[in-house]
Structure 1
Amino acid sequence: MTTRAGSPADRVRPSARHDRLLTVAQAYVDAAAARNELPHRDLSRLSRTRVRVDPEFCREVARHFDRAPRRALDADLVARYNRFTEETRRHFALLEPAGLRVVPWQGPGQPYHGAAELIDAVDRTGVLYVYLTSAGHGPHGPAPDHPLCAPSGVTVNGVELLHNDIFRVVHDVFGHILHGATMGVAGEFRAAYGHLAMYSPLVHPVVFTEQVSQICWFFHGPHLADRTGRWPRRGAPGWIPPAERPYPEQKLFPCPPGFLDRFIASFTEESG
């Protein structure tokens, strides 16, 4: 069964900082498009995007992620990740002009419980707390042999952020906050789709693996199925609340052919 979202299931109220964020992000896209680094997009349309979430597609992606080798790195993938970290740092550099400050989260648990709380806190303070990769990341913590677990060269409050920290920050800002996307499956899909518009096509498969594949595993992974092979509904016996689920392992493998196209085909950009 395919569900269509474009409602409170995948959206929260717009950020009070939306217009300033949009101006900064659109200027970035305009300049990159002028250099032929990525296709030109009107980012203002993306907040009105509708998404069709197909649970079977999510489970297919999750199964592939679950069965994929921990590391399947080749020269092509190295080049894509190198480009991805470079572009992600460019996105991070946009935060100061947008009036935002990033601070490593040193408190217990997560800094935010959902997108609405994230947006409200950032609107009030101009501060975005980043939940560090070192604090919660997969079953074994950060993997030093993964390119996103390498130091980014950015130090904040004495903490050197990893490339994965940088990515999670810009995903929150240019995915969730800019587009008012929730943190459920539909909202995470919308956040990833909106943020893709700021990346060159070369690294779109990396964004899919690092964001969409992990989200599919977290919400639809085979580890969540019951003994009959079914995924229990919320509140039913055997259902595991998200707060009690494990984080996906940071794997490194090429995006399977067709997955990215099917993901993009799930979206409809509406005018008006």
Structure 2
Amino acid sequence: MTSDDQGLTVRLGTLAQSHADRAAARAGAPAVRLDRLAADPLRIDEDFCRAVADRYDTAPTVRDPAGMARGYARLAEENLRQFRLIGEAGIRVLPWSGPGQPYRDSRDLVARVRSRGRLHVFLTRHGHGPAGAGGEHPLRAPSGVRAGGEELLHNDIFRAVHDVFGHVLYGNTFGPHGEFRATRCHLAMYPADLHPLVFAELVGQLCWFFYGPHLRRPDGTLPRRGEPGYLPPARRPYPPQKQLAYDRHTLDRFAALFGPPSR
């Protein structure tokens, strides 16, 4: 890591920690050290992952289920606050206009953002469809933020802040282990009452992608790489974007996958 890379990472870490501290203070909860959350050991429980995937799979695609519009509006506002922090750290966000994905893997994402101070975002409309599609999901609405000649959707804003605070800041990888770590770090920057929605957008979709019922054999098991029926991640569909909030028991089970709580 060069001195410029290190400077950006330090600025980003300082801004993220201050934001997490404020979120904890508003909730009357003890502050947590984000760098310690990133270092705790993790145990992946595939039964838990399948249960999360099944809950996501069976959730209906409907508009404003159970009056959740206010929660999503607050989530969108919070994402915009975090998006502004990215700019304060010196990172410019641009829509990706090239073929395929903007980064080969998580290492490429981390290295290029840290060294160049630019984050390319794979736009929601290329993966999930245009604004207003998919059951009128509230994060598919225009955000009012323009970048590189494009107006970003709220979902684009959310994916940008997660890439930065979930992956770039502490080098968390893609795939279940890295995404679980990224979610744990990033959740600490949100008010606690938004955690069920953030969890659905991150872990719910991730578990569906890696452990969903559409990938399983008739006996419920998942074929491994090289086995008949195995579908490589590059050929898997994106999860449909749904409006749901996971219950506290599920979030507690997620937290229990990690080591002792950090202070």
TM-score by length of 1: 0.87
Unaligned runs of 5+ in 1: 1-14
Contact 1:70 1:253 in 2 (8 A): no
Aligned CA distance change for structure 1 residues 261 and 111 (closer, same or farther; 3 Å): same
| Cα displacement string for residues 101-153 of structure 1 (whole angstroms, at most 9, x for unaligned residues) | 00000011000122101011112211100000001127x99436110000111
1:121 is aligned, of 112, 117, 131, to 112
- How far did residue 269 of structure 1 move? 5.0
Within the candidate set 147, 151, 155, 1:160 is matched to 151
CA deviation string 1:225-252 (max 9, x = no partner): 1244321112222111100000000111
Contact 2:41 2:258 survives alignment (8 Å): yes
Match runs of 1:159-198 below 5 Å:
159-198=150-189
1:34-67 C-alpha deviation (Å, 9 max, x unpaired): 4448652222212212211100110111111111
Higher mean C-alpha displacement, 164-173 vs 77-86: 77-86
Distance 1:39 1:166, change over 3 A: farther
Q: Identity over the aligned pairs, expressed in percent?
A: 51
Post-superposition offset of 1:271: 6.5
Question: What corresponds to 2:83 in structure 1?
Answer: 92
Letter in 2 for 1:258: H
Rounded Cα–Cα distance in structure 1 between residues aligned with 2:134 and 2:86: 27
Unaligned runs of 5+ in 2: none
TM-aligned CA deviation for residue 19 of structure 1: 1.9
Alpha carbons 2:20, 2:189 under 8 Å: kept: yes
Matched, 1:225 2:179: no
Q: Paired residue for 1:237?
A: 228
Query: Equivalent residue for 2:190?
Result: 199
Q: Which moved more, 1:119-128 or 1:228-237?
A: 228-237
In 2, distance between residues paired with 1:41 and 1:235?
41
Residue 73 of structure 1 aligns to which amino acid in structure 2?
Answer: P
Amino acid at match of 1:58: C
**Alpha-carbon distance in structure 2 between the residues aligned to 1:120 and 1:59:** 32
1:264 matched to 2:243 = no
TM-score relative to the length of structure 2: 0.90
Q: Which moved more, 1:172-181 or 1:142-151?
A: 142-151
Structure 1 pair 177–266 and aligned structure 2 pair: CA distance change class (3 A): same
Equivalent of 1:74, from 47, 66, 76?
66
Within 1, Cα distance between the matches of 2:220 and 2:135? 34
Alignment of 1:122-161 (within 5 A): 122-137=113-128, 142-143=133-134, 145-161=136-152
Higher helix share: 2
May I ask how many residue pairs the two structures share in their alignment? 256
**1 CA distance for matches of 2:109 and 2:210?**
20
